[in-house]
Structure 1
């Protein structure tokens, strides 16, 4: 059995219709060895354009990783390795998913795996949130093993939650001040519960009436208990909510709106 590495190439037009759900792969880093005939196309994570996976505080999360794989000897099997850290050899987190392959023709297969991210097993540290590198590993029909050397990324993030927005007092007289509050929490893989999200910016948004788009009124930072609190003058009947854009480590979320009757 030979082991070899190869760069991943761009997708072939012939398979674009078959693989419409797959996102375009990130360009490969470096050139493959000349004796490597295996190629990987369309690395896709969770069928998400940003390759993002959100994981709760206690519940395991299954997500998909897929690619189109081609080799002159055909494709026997494919496994996806996801690792966190500067280098694979010193990674502080590893996720592995064996795939099932759908044969497209004699040389090419579409291979998809379900990978498990579990705060109780392989995501026990909050420090594991962020960018993970994906290394596809393929065995061809002749038994040769190829490790993809492209820079393919998955973003595994901690989920966030926004409580129901509460605006007081209600009803309110036009021109009087409203106090609008909501609490943000974030999944802690270490504590196995949701904890306050402290010192993060959220947007207070307002929509006049019952339809139409929300507009941003203020930018607020959450306090030591995760609360966002803002004071605004009541102008007309409408809804208030808080919106969090997310970070490289946390998933975006939007809270439920509170409708205010202005008299």
Structure 2
């Protein structure tokens, strides 16, 4: 059985996103010791998400899909996907693996999809594991040769966030009077197995006049040491207020439930 690496093919969207994060050296096709007919990996997909992003709660495992179209002149026997966290595979501080089910498209090509489990109780015990994970697809072709795909493959594993129900006081309120808009921001702690306050992160206070139409941003503010966002604005007309969090490279975006205010 021979072991080989290949220059894999990625989608344009994946390449553009990945280059914004990191650039990895790619081996040249036909290099010494390699098989010129190496396996090719196409259309890599993680969680059916354009950003290859997976959100994981504090104490609940998350199962997500990883897939690719795989081709080889000898056909495709089996495929698996290995995700790892760290600067290099040999020193990875986190690993997830999924064995794929392959569906033959023709004599040489198969669509191979695996289910991978991210679990705070098993492979996500540290909050430091949030962020970029690299992925190595591994294929065995019909001749028994093993190919480790090397290229710009990645997934973003992020901590789930939440915003509490927005509360506006007083309600009802006279027009022109000040109202206070509050909500608490929390984030999954994989270490503590519970949600904890998300401190010092920017959220947007948004308002929608009446009962329909788009929300507009009124203020940008940061959450306090207990995760609370608190803003004071003047009541101008009946409408709804809410907070929105855009997320970060380590945390998921979220939008809180709106509170409707009656202005007299």
Give the structure 1 partner of residue 65 of structure 2. Answer: 64
- Please state whether the residue corresponding to 1:111 is helix, strand or coil: strand
The 8 Å contact of residues 24 and 42 in structure 1, kept in 2 or not, is answered as no
* TM-score where L is the length of structure 1: 0.93
Cα distance change on mapping 1:229 and 1:25 into 2, 3 Å:
closer
* TM-score where L is the length of structure 2: 0.93
- Please state whether the residue corresponding to 1:26 is helix, strand or coil: helix
The 8 Å contact of residues 160 and 186 in structure 1, kept in 2 or not, is answered as yes
Give the structure 2 partner of residue 129 of structure 1. Answer: 130
Give the paired residue count: 252
The 8 Å contact of residues 82 and 132 in structure 1, kept in 2 or not, is answered as yes
Structure 2 Cα separation of the partners of residues 198 and 55 of structure 1? 19
Q: CA shift at 1:228, angstroms?
A: 0.1
- Please state whether the residue corresponding to 2:74 is helix, strand or coil: coil
Cα distance change on mapping 1:231 and 1:156 into 2, 3 Å:
same
Map Cα deviations across residues 114-145 of structure 1 (whole Å, 9 max, x no partner).
Answer: 00000000000000000000100000011100
Structure 2 Cα separation of the partners of residues 33 and 124 of structure 1? 39
- Please state whether the residue corresponding to 1:206 is helix, strand or coil: strand
- Please state whether the residue corresponding to 2:15 is helix, strand or coil: coil
What is the aligned-residue RMSD (CA, Å)? 1.3
- Please state whether the residue corresponding to 1:155 is helix, strand or coil: strand
Alignment of 1:30 with 2:26, yes or no, is yes
Give the structure 1 partner of residue 4 of structure 2. Answer: 4
Cα distance change on mapping 1:10 and 1:93 into 2, 3 Å:
closer
Alignment of 1:40 with 2:41, yes or no, is yes
Map Cα deviations across residues 170-202 of structure 1 (whole Å, 9 max, x no partner).
Answer: 110000000000000000000000000000000
Map Cα deviations across residues 73-131 of structure 1 (whole Å, 9 max, x no partner).
Answer: 00000000000000000000000000000100000000000000000000000000000
Structure 1 Cα separation of the partners of residues 137 and 28 of structure 2? 14
Q: How does 1:136-155 map to 2 (within 5 A)?
A: 136-155=137-156
Q: CA shift at 1:30, angstroms?
A: 1.5
Give the structure 1 partner of residue 20 of structure 2. Answer: none
